[in-house]
Amino acid sequence: MAVKEILLFPRDEDKLRKKSKKVKKIDAPIQKLIKDLKDTLLANPGAGLAAPQIGVHKRVVVVRFGQDTGEMEPPRALINPVILEEGPLGKGFDGCLSLPRISTWDTLRPTWLRFQAQDEQGQTFEMTVEGIDSILVHHEVDHLDGVLFLDRLPDDGQLYIAIQTEDGPKLVPLDMIK
């Protein structure tokens, strides 16, 4: 199992903001990258992970669809993903393994989107996703372009931090932490 270190904001901001390069050939190093991404994602409490988050600036992400149904699928690789069409923007949940314990319900993301990508065998496919899966794909494609979810937060948006209380974990507005 190859669980990689996830880059963190703000410490690694310069690396997280670097744009990723298109994958030209799906060869053994790309297959290893996909395996590392899957292993790292499964070892962490997230639904997606982009190659730049482990310091590799290639256009590869892994996602776990099915959050809306409560039955998350196994990680699926999207190589060179391109968003083809987007639905209207809506506010929704966003969090990131590169910003642990920080989340929001205010990020502006498409309520549905249609994208094209290559699978692990290099076959091109198109897919339409909606709801949380749409947020997930949009979030991970953003990582490939050096965009963080903080960049999608409107001026009146609120960030939350997960803290441990006597009653268990609780989300607290970040601006209330002193």
Where does residue 121 rank: exposed (0-12), middle (13-18), buried (19+ CB within 10 A)?
exposed
What lies within 8 Å, CB to CB, of 114 at 6+ separation is 83, 84, 85, 86, 126, 127, 128
Query: How far is Cα 81 from Cα 59, in angstroms, rounded to an integer?
Result: 7
Q: How many residues does the chain have?
A: 178
Mark whether 140 is an active-site residue.
yes
Candidates 5, 85, 86, 140; catalytic one: 140
How many Cα atoms are found within 13 Å in the side-chain-facing hemisphere of 88? 2
What lies within 8 Å, CB to CB, of 3 at 6+ separation is 36, 39, 40, 43
Q: Are 116 and 84 in contact (CB under 8 A)?
A: yes
Return the amino acid letter for 143.
Answer: H
Active site residues: 140
